[in-house]
Structure 1
Amino acid sequence: MAKTPPEPPRPLTINDVASAAGVSKSTVSLVLQGSPLIREETAARVREAAASIGYVYNRRAADLRRKSSNVVGVVINDLMNPFFAELLVGIERKLAQADYITLMAHTDENLELQTKVLQSMREHHAAGIILCPALGTPPALVKQVRAWGIPLLVMVRSLGKGDYDYAGSDNERGTFLATEHMLAAGHTQIGFLGGQTGAVFDDRLRGYRKALRAHGVAEQAELIRSAKPTREGGYTSLQQLLALKPRPTAAVCYNDIVALGALAALGERGIQAGREFAVIGFDGILDTAHANPPLSTMDVHPGGLGESAAELMLERLKHPEAGRLRFLAEPTLLLRTSG
């Protein structure tokens, strides 16, 4: 006669953990969720009891029950730019300290892909979303995400006026200071390279124009060269600038990547950056210190900016009803050989 197979063991529950730790079920639940409401010695006892009986917390199931998670979605528009990689490191570091997991997605400036990514994060019950918007993102997106009940922080690229949370840098002030430095060094034919229509581009261009006016220098439309904020954009726009008569002697760049492209164009022509033609970038990415020659830049400390953005998101998650949260990094001139 065949033996009846033994019944599988009953799955462990938080009731078992509560019994082993000598606390209530609600206390166990709060400890497993990382709540600060429980004293550390009690929390340690609960974790030790869970480990001793072999209980494993099913965070995904808990997330589904709560319709939220410990995941913060971060949507980046251009990971080819080291600025955003450094920014992401700062975000991830700060969120990890608060026991949040970063779920990153890259849109490559594609609005359709951005829509799909945001929808996916909604379906995965993201606790919050930090968004570097793709070019052309409509301001109405803020209301759309809010309607989902998910906190949204817009970062780096503004979506115009509104009461949404925002973390970025004082772009107008940064390009004003860069242009003012060029003017003080005796340059009057100063180009502005890179950037396309949009709030960030407009802010940086506005600072350039403001400095020219402040020093009584007439703006020349041919010195403003709109281009993709890439190395290729910087390379091409600098070539266009060098073809002008009289030839300009300096350029303020939309970002560091554009400036690195400009340095390549100068090197190809045998023009010494810093001595024969001055270049200043914007962002302060690590690569600027090792450019040839080392690149002067308006430093906004990308990693620190990322940490500040994460802090705003954590503050919003703690206080959902708080007023608008905002952080603006103050750019500082990091002067090196090129400028």
Structure 2
Amino acid sequence: MAPSVRYPRPVTIHHVAEEASVSKSTVSLVLQGSPLVRDETAERVREAAHKLGYVYNRRAAELRRQSSNMIGVVINDLMNPFFAELLAGVERRLMDAGYIVLMAHAQESPDRQRRVLQSMREHHAAGILLCPALGTPRSLPHELLPWGIPLVVMVRSLGAGAYDYAGSDNECGVRMATRHLVDTGHRRIAFLGGRTGPAYAERLRGYRKALAAARIPFDPQLVIEADPGRGGGRDAMARTLRIDPRPTAAVCYNDITAFGALAALGEQGLRAGADFALIGFDNVSDAAHSNPPLSTVDIHPGDLGEQAAAALMARIAQPSVERQIYLAKPRLMLRRSG
């Protein structure tokens, strides 16, 4: 008869606690990344787990307590480097706190966004950070309330409501950029890119207020609506250059729109800064390295992501905390384009 096979016994949390001379609850706290355990004790527990070959089954622990350490992050447009930099800030803050980030791309589709949100609910997300897709109904935060999952809306406001929000002072930033162009002698100033939504309305309002303060009549033909991307920016600038009399400067809805506008200027043999003043919005890292370097409104995308993550963690820790609103203070970054 063949000898029976003896399998090694599974290593459990009890064995780790015994090896480290601590309680099971202390081991559990260490494995969950809790800051409540002293560093030297936590290190002893980790060494014991490594020595014994113990592997923490995080999913089983989540099922036992009907929660998770997973945070869902829904980004509307990953083709825009602004959102990549925002996401880096989000991940930096959440991972330092022991959370796992599950990112999904809504591709500017409200329908896809709903499916993604439902999936995150089914996976028991501990919280959700959402950059709303264009066309997202303002009622969405209220519709998600019965889920009991903390939500922070980022970048694009959904109007009045009780939800937490992290974004930028859009009106102030564009007003600042437009005022700079006025102060440097421009009178025919266009506003390029964007079509709809609260962020677009806020930025357009800043543009109009700066013109009004300088007693420059608002000319609706200088507002060139376009998709907020490179293609939209290129098309918007091409249309701008056909206006008679031709504008001499423009503020763009975002930096990606401005990059497209830079390309259109080059196609016409014009150079931003020398022949046409151009200012973007966001200050993505590529703005400093465009040709020429792009003047822009800096809203610190990475910091904004960290602040959004901090607001979500505060909501998770204390569900009854008052509504949190973070608005990044814009700063004008003047480079060679404007």
Q: TM-score range by the shorter chain?
A: over 0.9
**How far apart in 2 are the matches of 1:19 and 1:337?**
65
Partner of 2:48: 49
Checking the alignment, whether the CA contact within 8 Å between 1:288 and 1:296 is kept in structure 2 is yes
Q: Which residue does the alignment assign to 1:123? A: 122
State how far apart, in whole Å, the 1-side matches of 2:251 and 2:20 are: 64
Please state how far the C-alpha of 1:3 moved relative to its aligned partner: 4.1
Cα separation, 2, equivalents of 1:4 and 1:323: 67
Per the alignment, residue 297 of structure 2 pairs with: 298
Correspondence for 2:259: 260
Q: How does 1:52-67 map to 2 (within 5 A)?
A: 52-67=51-66
Corresponding residue of 2:103: 104
Q: How far apart in 2 are the matches of 1:198 and 1:250?
A: 24
What is the alpha-carbon distance in structure 2 between the residues aligned to residue 146 and residue 41 of structure 1? 41
Query: C-alpha displacement at 1:51, in angstroms?
Result: 2.1
Matched with 1:228 is 227
- Could you tell me how far apart the structure 2 residues matched to 1:54 and 1:240 are? 65
Contact 2:32-2:98 within 8 A present in 1 as well: no
Give the Å deviation of 1:316.
2.1
Q: Give me the whole-angstrom Cα distance separating, in 1, the residues matched to 2:40 and 2:286.
A: 46
Find out whether 1:94 has 2:71 as its counterpart: no
Aligned to 2:204: 205
Q: 1:25 Cα shift?
A: 2.1
2:32 is equivalent to residue 8 of structure 1: no
Distance 1:337 1:25 in 2: 62
- Given that 1:145 and 1:151 are in contact with CA atoms closer than 8 Å, whether structure 2 keeps it comes out as no
Tell me if the contact between 2:67 and 2:124 (Cα under 8 Å) persists in the aligned partners. Answer: yes
1:1-339 mapped onto 2 (5 Å cutoff): 2-3=1-2, 5-339=4-338
**SS of the residue 1:121 aligns to:** helix
* Offset from partner CA, 1:46-71 (integer Å, 9 cap, x none): 22222222221100111122222222
Give, in whole Å, the separation in 2 of the partners of 1:96 and 1:30: 17
Tell me if structure 2 keeps the 8 A contact 1:64–1:125.
no
Distance in 2 of aligned mates of 1:226 and 1:209: 15
SS of structure 1 residue aligned to 2:161: coil
What are the superposed Cα offsets for residues 301-331 of structure 1, whole Å, 9 maximum, x if unpaired?
Answer: 2122122222222222222221111211111
Q: Distance in 2 between matches of 1:273 and 1:140?
A: 41
Q: What is the alpha-carbon distance in structure 2 between the residues aligned to residue 158 and residue 116 of structure 1? A: 21
1:111 CA drift (Å): 1.2
Which deviations, in whole Å up to 9, do the C-alpha atoms of 1:50-109 show, x marking residues without a partner? Answer: 222222110011112222222211111001111111111111122221122211111110
The answer to whether the 8 A contact 2:270-2:276 is kept is yes
In structure 2, distance between residues paired with 1:244 and 1:3 = 91
Aligned-partner residue type, residue 235 of structure 1: R
Cα displacement string for residues 135-157 of structure 1 (whole angstroms, at most 9, x for unaligned residues): 11112221233321211110000
- Normalised by the length of structure 2, the TM-score is 0.96
Pick which of 295-304 and 45-54 moved more.
45-54
Q: What is the letter of the counterpart of residue 180 of structure 2? A: H
RMSD between superposed Cα atoms in Å: 1.4
> Alignment partner of 2:278: what SS?
strand
Please report how far the alpha carbon of residue 172 of structure 1 lies from its aligned counterpart in structure 2 after TM superposition: 0.3
Task: State the 1:116 CA deviation.
Answer: 1.2
Identical-residue share of aligned pairs (%): 62
Separation (CA, whole Å) in 2 of partners of 1:294 and 1:167: 28
TM-score between the two structures when normalised by the length of structure 1 = 0.96
Pairwise CA distance, 1:7:
4.6
Secondary structure of the 1:303 match is helix
- Whole-Å separation in 1 of the counterparts to 2:46 and 2:230: 51
- 2-side partners of 1:175 and 1:227: how far apart? 17
AA in 2 matched with 1:68: S
Q: Counterparts of 1:108 and 1:156 in 2: how far apart (Å)?
A: 15
CA contact (8 A) 1:255 1:283 kept: yes
CA–CA distance in structure 2, aligned partners of residues 52 and 244 of structure 1:
73
